[in-house]
Structure 1
Amino acid sequence: MPPVSFKAIIASIAVVSLTACQSVPQSTSAITVSAYAPETPQLSCAPHGNPNGSPAKLTANRTRIGDPAYIEFRQRFSPGIPSGHLYVVFGRLDAKGNPVTRLYTGLFPKGSLAGLYAGALVPMPADLVPSYADCHLTPNAAYRVSLTESQYQQLLGKVQEDLANPPMWRMFGYNCNNYAASLGSVAGLVEPANRAQPSFSYIYAYIDANGDGGQKAAS
C-alpha cells in the first residue's frame, strides 16, 4: 500500500468537517418547517391571496405559555345576514404563545343568500373552507384559547372528520355559532345558555360562559 501524504490526510479531514457543518443547519431547517407546516392546507387562506392569514385584536385571551397550539373564535360582519358570522382560526403557537400558523374554518350554507335563507326552513348542505371575507375582513371580536397537544390532536381529528362529512346548516338549531362551539368543546368550552342569539352577541356570551369575560386581552 503506497504511503499517504500528510497533505492528503489534512484534505480528507477538511472535507469531512465541511460536510458535517453543512448537514446540521439543513436538518434543523427541515425540522422547523415540518413542525409548523399546516396540517389541513385546504383551510389555509392561500387561495384568497393571504397564505399566512391575518392577526386579530383579541377581545379575550386565555393563553398558557408552553401550550403548543390554539383555537380562536372570530366574529365578523356579513353582507348577507345582519347577525354576522362566527368562524374559527386555529394552529400552532411559538414558545412565547404567538400564532405561527393560521387555519380557518366555519359553517356556512352552500348557495350563498338563497342557501342562507332556505336554511331557515330546511337543513342545508354547508361549506367549511374559509371565504374571502374570513381571510380579509377585520373581525369585530376575537377570543383565543391555547390548547395542549392532546387537545389540538382532538381538534384536528374533528375538523378532518367534518371536512369529510360536513354538518348540515340550519339557521335555527345548528348554525355557524353552534359549529364553532362544537370545536371549542375539545378545550372544555361550553355554549352560552341562549344558543339561538345572533353572532354579534353570541361571541360575548360565549366568552362570559367560559369565565373569560372580565380578563384583559393581549393581542
Structure 2
Amino acid sequence: MSSRFLRFAFVAILGAFAAGCTSNSAGTMTAGAPVQSTAALAPTAFAPPVEQSGAAQQLSKPYFIDFRSRNALSYGHTFVVFGKLDQNGRVPTDSRGVLIPGVTEVAGLHPASTSNVPYTIGHVLPVPAETGPSDGDTEIAYMTANYRIDLTEQEYRDVVGYIRGLQESSTVWHAVLYNCSSFVSDIAEHMGLKAPNHMLFPKEYITSLKEMNS
C-alpha cells in the first residue's frame, strides 16, 4: 500500500470525524449515515408547505413521490417518500407527523449498520448498503427540505418499478463515489428531472433539485 494512499485515507477519515460534529453546516460533502436514535436529533423549525389539491387533480394524480432531506448527527440524509395521497391530497401522516405505513414507503441509500465504523470507512472504501428507511426518515420533525411531485397511477407504477430495481442493484455506499444523493439523483433523472451535484449537503441538494425543476 503506497504512502500516498495512506495519506489520502488518513485525511478522509479525519474529515469524516470532523463532519460528524457539524450537522447542517454549509458545505459540499454529503452522506447518508443512519442515526443511533431520533431522540438525539434536534427538530428543525422547518414547516412543510400547505399541500392543496383540487378534486380533479386528486382524481387524476392520486399518488406522489416526495424528495426529502433530514437532519442527522453528521451531514444529514437524502431520500424519497412515495405512496398514495390521502383524501385531502396530502402525504398521509398521523397526529405526530409520522408517515402512515401501508400507504407510504421510504427508499434511501445508507450504510447497512447503525455503527459509525462502516460510515467512517465509507469515506475511503465502499461499504455494504441498505436502501430502506433509516432512523428519522418517517418523522416530519427532522425534515429540512422537500420537493413533492404528484403522479398518475401509470407514472407511479413506472417510478416504483424503477425504485425497486435500483434498490436491488445498489449494494454499496461511498461518501463520494455513490452516496444517498446519488441514489436520489438516479430516481430523479429516470423521471426526466434535472439533478444537482450529488456532493451538495442534503438540504442544499433538495432545494437545488426543486429550483432546477420548478
**TM (normalized to structure 1)?**
0.61
Residues 52 and 88 in structure 2, CA contact (< 8 A), matched pair in contact too: no
Q: What is the alpha-carbon distance in structure 1 between the residues aligned to residue 50 and residue 67 of structure 2? A: 10
Report what 2:185 is aligned to. Answer: 181
Bigger CA radius of gyration: 1
Counterpart code for 1:119: G
Counterpart code for 1:170: H
| Helix, strand or coil at the partner of 2:138 | helix
Task: Give the Å deviation of 1:197.
Answer: 1.4
Q: What is the alpha-carbon distance in structure 2 between the residues aligned to residue 95 and residue 135 of structure 1? A: 20
Report what 1:197 is aligned to. Answer: 200
Report what 2:149 is aligned to. Answer: 145
Task: Give the Å deviation of 1:119.
Answer: 1.4
Counterpart code for 2:109: L
Structure 1's consecutive aligned runs of 4 or more residues displaced over 6 angstroms after TM superposition are: 60-64
Q: Higher helix fraction: Structure 1 or Structure 2? A: 1
Task: Give the Å deviation of 1:130.
Answer: 1.0
Residues 51 and 89 in structure 2, CA contact (< 8 A), matched pair in contact too: no
Report what 2:65 is aligned to. Answer: 71
5 Å-filtered alignment, 1:70-219, equals 70-79=64-73, 81=74, 83-94=75-86, 96-100=88-92, 101-111=103-113, 112-136=115-139, 137-192=141-196, 194-211=197-214
Counterpart code for 2:106: Y
| Helix, strand or coil at the partner of 1:140 | strand
Cα distance change on mapping 1:73 and 1:155 into 2, 3 Å: same
Higher relative contact order (CA 8 A, sep 6+): 2
Cα distance change on mapping 1:122 and 1:134 into 2, 3 Å: same
- Report Cα offsets for 1:146-173 as digits up to 9, x if no partner: 1222221122212222343434211112
Report what 1:29 is aligned to. Answer: none
Between the two proteins, the alignment pairs up a number of residues equal to 154
- Report Cα offsets for 1:73-120 as digits up to 9, x if no partner: 1111111x2x21111110012465323422111110123321212111
Task: Give the Å deviation of 1:181.
Answer: 2.2
Task: Give the Å deviation of 1:191.
Answer: 0.8
Residues 105 and 129 in structure 1, CA contact (< 8 A), matched pair in contact too: yes
Q: Structure 1: 5+ residue runs without aligned partners?
A: 1-47, 49-55, 212-219
Cα distance change on mapping 1:159 and 1:147 into 2, 3 Å: same
Residues 146 and 207 in structure 2, CA contact (< 8 A), matched pair in contact too: no
| Helix, strand or coil at the partner of 1:98 | coil
Residues 177 and 199 in structure 1, CA contact (< 8 A), matched pair in contact too: yes
